[in-house]
Amino acid sequence: MTRQSLSSPLTIRTLTVPNRVAMSPMTRGFCPDGAPTEEVAKYYSRRAAGGCGLIITEAVGIDHPSALGDAGLGEDNIPVLHGDAPVAGWRRVVETVHAAGGRIVPQLWHQGALRLAGTGPNPEARTLSPSGVWGPLGRMTSLAAGKVPADRRIGEPMRESEIDEVIEAYVRSARNATLAGFDGVAIHGAHGYLIDTFLWDETNVRNDRWGGDHAQRTAFAVEVVRRIRQAIGPLVPIFFRFSQWKQQDFRAQLATTPQELEQVLGPLADAGVDVFDASVRYFDKAAYPDSDLSLAGWAKKVTGKLSMAVGGVGINKGMYDGDKGVAAVDNVERVVSRLMHGEFDLVAVGRAVLGDAEWARKAIAGEAAVPFDPNTLSQLA
């Protein structure tokens, strides 16, 4: 086993990523009126120059009035991918990342039930969820008490017309991503946001074509992927982030067995997903009993598609385990071992790359990186 295996290129449709290290999406809020600035372009290009072969941007609001608001992350300066200034700003970001030798895709996002009503760029817009349900109350969550509703029911179920409007908003934003020169499209289908609430049985109790069992609850996500694939054509890769845990419930499970996972991810693979981004707190934690395969490993096994691992790479604590006592660790050999055995195809790195823009190059070379400092979460670095 050698760290140099991280340097091998990976081809996804017509895109060739120069190595196996990706920068994980991390919301920061440095885009006034939704438009990335020159500082944002420099922020991403530094990570590309530092060895990240693929950049996945912070979550980007889709072209729909209810997409963004206060979801416990702050509601100001979240980027979007519609309007002349934001698209031009992203085009500049793409140019600088390409010049640094990297590839870049935007993560398309609708906050869904986690959007606090009356907040965001369009405070009058209705907060949307498939069944008008926020999620189960009284579960383990990272959200502040003021972000958790008193009643799990937060409104009426989405109407058929609203579902179609949101799907088309994803499509418009995906088209804008290609106009801005992005190398692909990533879809945020995790963490209790809109797409995830269609997948999760606690928040999707519909009895129409958008609800039902594990496979039937994929209908909304499948239609988003299918229409995006139709709009952007067969050459551009599509990434899809999914998770077991939700912000409403850290102990939630989207699928309790590999068979259920196949029922969820299989239709998405058939619709056009190329890479499944398995979001967990620790990249090598076994997903199911009787196997040491990670969630990314199972995603690859049950779909036959590429997968990406993420969670705790280069750092000793998973996200949401608290910042106290966070320290840099060199666990790259564990990443390499699983990568070389074909368990997954890419590894995404979050906070370690925030702490050191050259983390990827140093990790491959076996050099010590600058330790992560939680204060960098609120700084341009």
Model pLDDT, residue 109: 98
CA of 39: how far to CAs of 32, 56, 85, 130, in Å? Answer: 12, 17, 15, 37
- Tell me which of 43, 44, 170, 193 is the catalytic residue: 193
193 labelled catalytic: yes
**Is residue 378 over pLDDT 60?**
no
- Residue 354 three-state SS: helix
Domain count, the chain: 1
Give me the domain span that covers residue 126.
Answer: 3-378
**Predicted local distance difference test score (pLDDT) of residue 342:** 97
Alpha-carbon distance of 1 to 163, in angstroms, equals: 48
Predicted TM-score (pTM) of the model is: 0.96
* Model pLDDT for residues 142-184, shown as the tens digit of each residue: 888 888 999 999 999 999 999 999 999 999 999 999 999 999 9
| 349-362 per-position pLDDT tens digit | 999 999 899 999 99
CA 295/CA 307 separation, integer angstroms: 9
The enclosing domain of 182 has a CATH number of 3.20.20.70
Q: Is the pLDDT of residue 101 over 60?
A: yes
pLDDT at 376: 62
Query: What tokens were used for 92?
Result: 């500049």
pLDDT value of position 69: 94
Average pLDDT, the chain: 94
**Residue 75: predicted pLDDT:** 65
Mean pLDDT to the nearest integer, 339-357: 95
Q: What is the pLDDT of residue 66?
A: 97
- pLDDT at site 381: 60
Question: What per-residue confidence (pLDDT) applies to 119?
Answer: 93
Given pLDDT bands bounded at 50, 70 and 90, which one contains residue 85?
A: very high
Task: Please identify which residue in the block is written with the tokens 């928040």.
Answer: 203
Is a pLDDT exceeding 90 seen at residue 212? yes
Report whether pLDDT(325) > 90.
no
Looking at residue 318, what is its pLDDT?
Answer: 67
**pLDDT band per the 50, 70, 90 thresholds, residue 322:** low
Q: Give residue 134's pLDDT.
A: 97
Q: Tell me, what's the pLDDT at 328?
A: 76
- Give residue 377's pLDDT: 59
pLDDT of residue 73: 66
Residue among 266, 275, 185, 265 nearest 233 (CA):
185
pLDDT band, very low/low/confident/very high, at 255 (cuts 50, 70, 90): very high
| Crossing angle of the two packed helices 38-49 and 84-99, in degrees rounded to 10 | 30
According to the 3-state scheme, what is the secondary structure of 181-249? CCCCEEEECCECCHHHHHHCCCCCCCCCCCCCCCCHHHHHHHHHHHHHHHHHCCCCCEEEEEECCECCE
